[in-house]
């Protein structure tokens, strides 16, 4: 499948007027997260990585996002959401219990660890988890369906789309501070925005996206025609 925002790299904005020092600090920290377990065990991390691979499949045209490492970072820092579904333990406990239980379910069904299963075998277990059908005692009474909704979907998808590579994939320019947005009308496009490739203008989008990271002088904003 062709990219929607070909050649767009949001990190080209790193030293531009689009981002302030706080944004640069947050993005740099996110990029520096090592792609290995720091809170979870190696086995738990492997299960999480295999699960994330099925929840957020990644395009081969861009470097892979270390989704498992980003979730592991959340656990390392013991970050919660400010709420919990009925019967759910704290975030750290929910993940450790859920990953262990998913591995138990995989071994019971296939005789192999979850990360060793074929993609379609993982998908069957994921669908059963989503519907709340998994019932091993390893879940320890934690509601399986709620675990899928609150932890698997929430944490994995949030981790994926928190990464600059995903921002480039969807044409997002990152936080709008300090520059903000100028063209607020329908289908308006600021000159530092990514251009979406549409039938017949793919090359034009590529040329624009190669330049957009360098940004334009704010004084020239209104000389650029809106899309």
pLDDT in tens, 45-90: 999 999 999 999 999 889 999 999 999 999 999 998 888 889 999 9
Averaged pLDDT for residues 165-172: 94
pTM for the full predicted model: 0.88
Q: What CA–CA distances, in Å, run from 207 to 177, 193, 195?
A: 25, 13, 9
Averaged pLDDT for residues 91-108: 98
Q: What CA–CA distances, in Å, run from 158 to 105, 129, 150?
A: 25, 19, 11
Q: With H, G, I as helix, E, B as strand and everything else as coil, classify residue 19.
A: strand
- 178 φ, ψ to 5°? -95, -5
Supply the DSSP symbol for 96. H
- Tell me what percent of the residues of the chain surpass a pLDDT of 70: 93
CB 8 within 8 A of CB 171: yes
């Amino acid at each position: 499948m062709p990219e929607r925002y070909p050649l767009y790299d949001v990190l080209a904005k790193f030293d531009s007027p689009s981002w302030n020092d706080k944004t640069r600090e947050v993005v740099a920290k996110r990029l520096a997260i090592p792609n290995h377990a720091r809170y979870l065990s190696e086995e738990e991390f492997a299960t999480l990585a295999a699960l994330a691979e099925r929840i957020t499949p990644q395009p081969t045209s861009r470097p892979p996002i270390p989704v498992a490492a980003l979730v592991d970072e959340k656990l390392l820092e013991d970050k919660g959401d400010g709420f919990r579904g009925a019967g759910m333990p704290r975030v750290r406990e929910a993940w450790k219990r859920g990953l262990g239980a998913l591995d138990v379910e995989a071994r019971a069904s296939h005789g192999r660890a979850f990360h060793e299963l074929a993609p379609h075998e993982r998908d069957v277990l994921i669908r059963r988890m989503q519907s709340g059908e998994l019932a091993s005692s390893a879940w320890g009474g934690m509601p399986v369906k709620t675990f899928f909704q609150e932890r698997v979907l929430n944490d994995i998808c949030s981790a994926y789309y928190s990464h600059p590579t995903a921002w480039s994939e969807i044409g997002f320019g990152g936080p709008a501070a300090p520059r903000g947005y100028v063209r607020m009308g329908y289908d308006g496009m600021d000159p530092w925005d990514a251009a979406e490739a549409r039938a017949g203008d793919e090359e034009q989008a590529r040329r624009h996206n190669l330049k957009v990271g360098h940004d334009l002088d704010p004084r020239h904003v209104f000389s650029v025609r809106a899309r």
